[in-house]
Amino acid sequence: MSAYVLLCNYTDQGVRNIKDAPKRRAAARELAKSFGVEIKSGHLAFGPYDLILRTEAPNDEAMAKFVLSAASKGNVRSTTVKVFSEAETDKIIAAIT
């Protein structure tokens, strides 16, 4: 599984309906599952992003499907960052010639 961090901001619609956030969170988890994506954790954030999600997916295509489908609901916009574990990073660095 590949790891990703989603840096999210609420849209105007998402903020207007913020009281629905717990229901939307549950729906997002189910949506993610439908694409083989697991939301490992979600965090309300201060600063340039409103919400940060840590996720895992079998591949980039599955993550893209989830992100596009979630965005189509109109409540959040996100920037997706693929991240590597320390072990994966060490393997990548070891292969550098």
- pLDDT score at 27: 97
pLDDT digits (tens, 9 = 90+) for 38-74: 999 999 999 999 999 999 999 999 999 999 999 999 9
**φ and ψ of 20, to 5 deg:** -85, 0
- pLDDT score at 88: 95
pLDDT digits (tens, 9 = 90+) for 9-45: 999 999 999 999 999 999 999 999 999 999 999 999 9
Check residue 49 and report its DSSP letter.
-
- pLDDT score at 97: 86
- The SS3 of residue 83 is strand
Structural domain total, the chain: 1
d(Cα 30, Cα 39) in Å, to the nearest integer? 9
Instruction: For residue 66, give its domain range.
Output: 2-94
Cβ distance 66 to 96 under 8 Å?
no
Strands (E) across the chain are located at 2-10, 38-44, 51-57, 76-83
Residue 29: give its domain's CATH number.
3.30.70.60
Cβ distance 53 to 12 under 8 Å?
no
d(Cα 22, Cα 58) in Å, to the nearest integer? 26
Q: What is the mean pLDDT of residues 76-91?
A: 96
